Structure formats: structure tokens, C-alpha cells
Amino acid sequence: MTSTIALSKEDTVADNAREHTDNQGGQGRSEYHGVPANALPLTASEDRQWATLAHFGGILGCVPSLLIYLIFRDRGPFTAQESKEALNFSLPPTIAAVLANILVFIPVVGNIFAVIATLIWIALTCYSVAAGIHVNRGQPHRYQYNLRWIK
């Protein structure tokens, strides 16, 4: 019974898309098309918001700042600058923490690597939160110890 309902809903959506396409004079685009390739630039508040999130993302490692850098670098100058700074800062500790977490499985010294991984995460969290607060005020942040691999 539920599969018939789900099927009929899908058919309805597809029929609506076809009807909408036909009503547009056969242009071949439905109302369910994707986002345009040339997205609009960020407003000043959005620029500051994404720059702040890039730094706060350091709590989870380098992945959030990498994603923000790749997605928003062309849409806002402050976001591009700060996400690159956050990525450059969080990349080496993330690599070190991943290695330490892998080395946890060594029988005798595994506990030492568990402590090292925890300390790396705590330090990365503290620096990322401090930078995120600084950037949220609209001021650019430069980490004192940063390799700046990505130019």
C-alpha cells in the first residue's frame, strides 16, 4: 500500500515537472533545476559568518575549513582569506592526530599515543575557538604558528 502511494507521489512530481516544462514553451527546463554555476557573492554578514565557521570547524579537523574554502573562496574575500588560514592551521594537527590514533593500536605504547591525540585535539579546539571569536568580530586572524602550505 505504501509503495503505491510513494509511486503515485513520484509520478505526480514528474508529471508536474513535465507540465511546467510544456507551459514554458518547450524550453526544456523544469522548475526542479539545480543551482546556477555562477553563484552570487556573499553579503558582508554572510562573508563574516562563513569565515567564522571555517575557524570553528577546526574542532572537527581540517575538513570543514577545506570545504568552506573550496565552496566559498570565489564568493567572498574575507571567507577566502580566513578559510585558507584555518585550513593551513588545522591541516598539520589533523594529520598528526590521525597518525596518533592509528598508532593507538600498538600494544605497549598505544596509551601514550591516545594521550597525544587527545592533547592535539584539545589544543586545536582552543586555538580554533579563539580564532573564530576573533573573526566573528570582523577582524582577520593570523595564527602565530602556521605553516601556510596553501598560498
Q: Give 91-107 pLDDT, tens digit per residue.
A: 999 999 999 999 999 99
Could you tell me if 58 and 86 are in contact, meaning their C-beta atoms sit under 8 angstroms apart? yes
Among 43-47, 118-122, 130-134, where is mean pLDDT lowest?
Answer: 43-47
Q: Quick one: 83 exposed, middle or buried, by C-beta within 10 A (0-12, 13-18, 19+)? A: buried
- Mean residue pLDDT across the chain: 81
Q: Quick one: 85 exposed, middle or buried, by C-beta within 10 A (0-12, 13-18, 19+)? A: buried
pLDDT digits (tens, 9 = 90+) for 54-92: 999 999 999 999 999 999 888 889 999 999 999 999 999
pLDDT band at 149 (very low <50, low <70, confident <90, very high): confident
